[in-house]
């Protein structure tokens, strides 16, 4: 009998031809790869910073669900932004997905070159609670 592997995927979203899963679950901890603002219907990036930021968080939420977690299980999110102008869109999506200022994960944001038109990319660690 084959057991479920540790790799997690988001339906409709991939890293293209790169053999990297969108995340991995080890024990009760979920580690994500870079989560971009790709639309599951097309596997293409959403248009503009606000749309990409919102979709990246939606994709993170979908990945967490696959591993049995929710956004409340996230302990830290690292965000790479293509340039400083993306921070406002990032913060808007952040507040939508984490509206309670007393119940947010830690976050670190850095400016980095991103490939293929990505304006931001999320990486998170979540601990699945029983």
CA angle 56, 57, 62 (to 5 degrees): 95
- DSSP bridge partners of 76: 106, 125
Q: Which two tokens stand for residue 84?
A: 């400083």
Place of tokens 């592997």: 5
Residue bearing the bigger pLDDT, 17 or 28: 28
Q: Give 61-83 pLDDT, tens digit per residue.
A: 999 999 999 999 999 999 999 99
The phi, psi pair for 71, rounded to 5°, reads -60, -25
Mean pLDDT of the chain: 95
Residues 6+ apart with CB under 8 A from 125: 29, 30, 31, 32, 74, 75, 76
Q: Can you give the pTM of this predicted structure?
A: 0.94
Average of per-residue pLDDT across 52-63: 98
């Amino acid at each position: 009998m084959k057991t479920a592997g540790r790799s997690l995927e988001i339906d409709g979203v991939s890293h293209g031809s790169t053999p990297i899963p969108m995340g991995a679950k080890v024990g009760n901890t979920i580690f994500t790869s870079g989560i971009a603002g790709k639309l599951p219907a097309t596997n293409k990036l959403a248009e503009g910073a606000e749309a990409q930021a919102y979709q990246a968080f939606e994709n993170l939420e979908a990945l967490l669900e696959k591993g049995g977690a929710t956004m409340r299980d996230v302990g830290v999110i690292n965000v790479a932004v293509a340039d400083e102008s993306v921070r406002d869109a990032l913060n808007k999506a952040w507040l939508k997905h984490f509206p309670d200022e007393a119940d947010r994960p830690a976050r670190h944001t850095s400016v980095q070159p991103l490939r293929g038109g990505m304006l931001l990319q999320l990486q998170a660690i979540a601990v699945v609670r029983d």
